[in-house]
């Protein structure tokens, strides 16, 4: 029995040593990116089986990988880190439009601006609401590959002859990018939150309603697109309209 155990150990030991020797060593390299967003490049690098850390302020990417992985990573980064990959600034306009069944002007919001005429025409053709009003508009400048958010308290509604209640609107996105065609703008994780005061009686009392919209959006540069409809009351609905433009 002892001879058998000794023989087994003599066979297994070289195999274990061989397996240990087959694990390739890793090398480290620091890449300083000129154009590409470090976090976006890191997401690609880790698909090679490597590990990487980023420093956005220094536009640096520290990579740890095997020699074979590093060669493939170097080639990929050389193709990605080009002027076309430089971060771009994108201006977003988010219009909050209220549709109502009444044709009276004494409703939530104010007159819609002329630049929304085409959108209002589309809404009239698609829905039975008689009246459309602008509740609020938010402007936001976002950089590709980064998060952005803004808050507006500019919207108000009447809760009595001498009283106005504030509408609180928040708009944010997880990331934004420009498609390969240069005109399609991709918005990931768009969130619109509206805290809306609605009259509860005829004596100036009101209650707050919270409306939320979460979506991913693809939009052509310069177009105005309705990206969501939220019910407000039985006779009213809120439409979220987006317009995007690359500014740099």
Q: State the CATH class of domain 2-85.
A: alpha beta
Cα–Cα dist 18/12, whole Å: 10
Residue intervals in the chain for CATH 3.30.1370.120: 2-85
- DSSP of 174-240: SEEEE-TTSSEEEEEEEEEEEEEEEE-SSSS-EEEEEEEEEEEEEEETT-EEEEEEEEEETTEEEEE
Supply the pLDDT for residue 100.
Answer: 87
- Reported as a single tens digit per residue, the pLDDT across 162-207 is 456 778 889 999 888 887 777 889 898 999 998 887 777 766 677 8
Are the CB atoms for 159 and 119 separated by under 8 Å?
Answer: no
**Using 50, 70 and 90 to split pLDDT, how confident is the model at 10?**
low
Cα–Cα dist 15/36, whole Å: 45
- Reported as a single tens digit per residue, the pLDDT across 71-85 is 999 999 998 888 877
Cα–Cα dist 27/19, whole Å: 20
User: What's the whole-number average pLDDT of the chain?
Assistant: 82
Cα–Cα dist 197/165, whole Å: 7
Report if pTM > 0.85. no
Q: Which residues pair with 245 in a beta bridge?
A: 91
- Residue of 116, 114, 103, 102 lying closest to 239 (CA atoms): 116
Cα–Cα dist 169/196, whole Å: 8
Q: Which residues pair with 209 in a beta bridge?
A: 196
Supply the pLDDT for residue 241.
Answer: 95
Higher pLDDT, 203 or 46: 46
């Amino acid at each position: 029995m002892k001879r058998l155990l000794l023989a087994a150990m003599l066979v297994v030991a070289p195999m274990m040593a061989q397996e240990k020797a087959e694990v390739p060593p890793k090398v480290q390299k620091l890449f300083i990116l000129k154009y590409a967003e470090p976090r976006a490049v890191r997401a690609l690098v880790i698909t090679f089986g490597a590990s990487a850390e980023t420093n956005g302020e220094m536009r640096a990417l520290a990579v740890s990988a095997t020699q074979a992985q590093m060669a493939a990573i170097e080639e990929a980064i050389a193709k990605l880190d080009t002027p076309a990959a430089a971060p771009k600034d994108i201006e977003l306009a988010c219009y909050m439009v209220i549709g109502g069944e009444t044709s009276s002007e004494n409703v939530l919001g104010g007159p819609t601006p002329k630049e929304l005429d085409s959108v209002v025409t589309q809404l009239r053709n698609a829905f039975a609401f008689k009246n459309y009003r602008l509740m609020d508009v938010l402007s936001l400048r976002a950089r590709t590959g980064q998060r952005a958010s803004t808050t507006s308290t500019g919207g108000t509604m009447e809760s009595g002859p001498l009283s106005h209640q504030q509408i609180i609107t928040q708009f944010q996105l997880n990331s934004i990018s420009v498609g390969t065609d240069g005109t399609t703008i991709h918005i990931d994780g768009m969130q619109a939150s509206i805290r809306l005061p609605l009259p509860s009686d005829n004596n100036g009392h009101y209650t707050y309603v919270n409306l939320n919209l979460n979506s991913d959006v693809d939009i052509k540069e310069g177009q105005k697109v309705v990206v969501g409809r939220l019910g407000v009351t039985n006779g009213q609905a809120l439409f979220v309209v987006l317009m995007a433009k690359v500014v740099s």
